[in-house]
């Protein structure tokens, strides 16, 4: 059964100010729980999908900001003064950073679960950004676009969110200097980021993750939070559904025993770290409709 975490990296909050991503995910939890058994779409989704929700990755930062404004940045950092979204091992550079306890906890979580699809929620812009955030000449960084082997899937995922959002799809930036066609962007094309959670999930976690920037103002007033939930509700549900794209199955031996750690990849889509089966021999490959050769066998989806 596909398992999809919605794992936002949240920042900070004051007395009457809240971080948008955290509030949206608390609303999402409530919506899923109260809709189960009443809404057939949500009931079917929950019956067939394992969903993990982490409203806050950085509780220190969330509590640190007492008098925030739209652009206040203290909430980016944990108690040790580290930005957790620059704190993951990087696939393209030796960033030699000291892994923070919060980062290590998330890395352990990713290692111990078979996550397939995820998103992390931020503020400061209005766009769906997809991997890679960093890169090298092989990924196309010299041309200003760092392309992953699954670039078509990532574009689809970003468009799915943007097109179901109340306004993200319009591509209007937060100021005249920043516009995003269709409301999406390749992370590297926007700005190079080293040590980000998005690339880490994809490279080492076998998990397709995108970054959702959901508000121009990082700390909007409390009375605006209901609208942010309404703007993102449909997009979140449609995004979660995408975990069922592609092919999934189990690798077993001749006696039907699961084979863990077997490489299962589509031809032409070799990953930095080869995608392998989990302890139950299960594999999940997010692919768009088409014909693929997977480990020598032709598959049409």
User: Tens digit of pLDDT for each residue in 23-50?
Assistant: 999 999 999 999 999 999 999 999 999 9
Look up the CATH number of the domain holding residue 278.
2.60.40.1120
Catalytically annotated residues: 213
Whether residues 103 and 160 share a domain: the answer is: yes
Q: Tell me whether residue 1 is in a domain.
A: no
Look up the CATH number of the domain holding residue 81.
3.40.630.10
Residue 268's domain comprises: 248-297
Identify the pLDDT of residue 14: 30
Whether residues 41 and 145 share a domain: the answer is: yes
Q: Tell me whether residue 2 is in a domain.
A: no
pTM reported for the whole predicted model:
0.91
Whether residues 183 and 280 share a domain: the answer is: no
Closest among 7, 1, 50, 24 to 210, alpha carbons compared: 7
Peptide bond into 132 cis (omega under 30): yes
Is residue 138 classed exposed, middle or buried when 0-12, 13-18 and 19+ CB atoms within 10 A define those classes? exposed
Whether residues 88 and 193 share a domain: the answer is: yes
Whether residues 76 and 191 share a domain: the answer is: yes
Percent pLDDT > 90 in the chain is: 76
User: Tens digit of pLDDT for each residue in 211-234?
Assistant: 999 998 888 888 888 999 999 999
Identify the pLDDT of residue 104: 97
Whether residues 168 and 281 share a domain: the answer is: no
Q: Tell me whether residue 3 is in a domain.
A: no
Whether residues 201 and 55 share a domain: the answer is: yes
Closest among 256, 300, 254, 259 to 283, alpha carbons compared: 259
Whether residues 166 and 182 share a domain: the answer is: yes
User: Tens digit of pLDDT for each residue in 245-272?
Assistant: 999 999 999 999 999 999 999 999 999 9
| pLDDT band with cut points at 50, 70 and 90 for residue 68 | low
Whether residues 112 and 176 share a domain: the answer is: yes
Q: Which of 1-15, 61-75, 152-166, 272-286 has the lowest mean pLDDT?
A: 1-15
Q: Tell me whether residue 4 is in a domain.
A: no
Q: What is the DSSP string of the chain?
A: --EEEE--------SSB--HHHHHHHHHHHHHHHHTTT-HHHHHHHHH-EEEE-S-S-HHHHHH-SS--TT--GGGB-TTS-BGGG-S--SSS-------HHHHHHHHHHHHS-B-EEEEEE-SEEEEEES-SS--GGGTGGGT----TTHHHHHHHHHHHHHHSSSGGG---SSTT---GGGEEEHHHH---SS-HHHHHHHHS--EEEEEEEESSSS-BGGGHHHHHHHHHHHHHHHHHGGG-SEEEE-B-TTS-B-TT-B--BTT---SS--B--TTSEEEE---SSEEEETTEEEE-
Whether residues 30 and 91 share a domain: the answer is: yes
Tell me how crowded residue 211 is: count the other CB atoms within 10 A of its CB: 26
Q: At which residue do the structure tokens 């995608």 appear?
A: 275
Whether residues 107 and 253 share a domain: the answer is: no
Q: Tell me whether residue 168 is in a domain.
A: yes
Whether residues 207 and 148 share a domain: the answer is: yes
- For the chain, how many structural domains are there in total? 2
Q: What is the DSSP string of 151-194?
A: HHHHHHHHHHHHHHSSSGGG---SSTT---GGGEEEHHHH---S
């Amino acid at each position: 059964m596909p398992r999809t975490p919605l794992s936002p990296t949240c920042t900070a909050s004051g007395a009457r100010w809240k971080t948008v991503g955290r509030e949206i995910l608390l609303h999402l939890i409530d919506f899923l729980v109260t809709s189960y058994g009443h809404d057939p779409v949500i009931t079917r989704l929950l019956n067939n999908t394992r969903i993990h929700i982490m409203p806050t990755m950085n509780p220190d930062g969330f509590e640190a900001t007492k008098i925030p404004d739209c652009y206040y940045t203290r909430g980016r950092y944990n108690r040790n003064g580290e930005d957790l979204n620059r704190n993951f091992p990087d696939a393209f550079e030796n960033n030699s950073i000291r892994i923070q306890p919060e980062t290590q906890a998330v890395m352990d979580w990713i290692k111990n679960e078979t996550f397939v699809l995820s998103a992390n929620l931020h503020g400061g812009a209005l766009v769906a950004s997809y991997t890679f955030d960093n890169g090298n000449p092989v990924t196309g960084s010299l041309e200003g676009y760092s392309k992953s082997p699954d670039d078509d899937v990532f574009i689809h995922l970003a468009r799915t969110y943007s097109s179901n959002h109340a306004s993200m799809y319009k591509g209007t930036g937060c100021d005249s200097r920043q516009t995003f066609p269709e409301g999406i962007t390749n992370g590297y094309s926007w700005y190079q980021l080293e040590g980000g959670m998005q690339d880490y999930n994809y490279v080492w976690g076998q998990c397709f993750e995108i970054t959702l920037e959901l508000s121009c103002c990082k700390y909007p007033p409390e009375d605006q939070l209901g609208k942010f939930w309404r703007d993102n509700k449909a997009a979140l549900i449609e995004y979660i559904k995408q975990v069922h794209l592609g092919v999934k199955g189990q690798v077993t031996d001749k006696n039907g025993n699961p084979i863990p750690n077997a490489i299962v990849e589509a031809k032409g889509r070799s990953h930095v770290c080869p995608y392998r089966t989990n302890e139950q021999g299960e594999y999940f490959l997010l692919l768009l409709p088409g014909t693929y050769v997977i480990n020598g066998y032709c598959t049409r989806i």
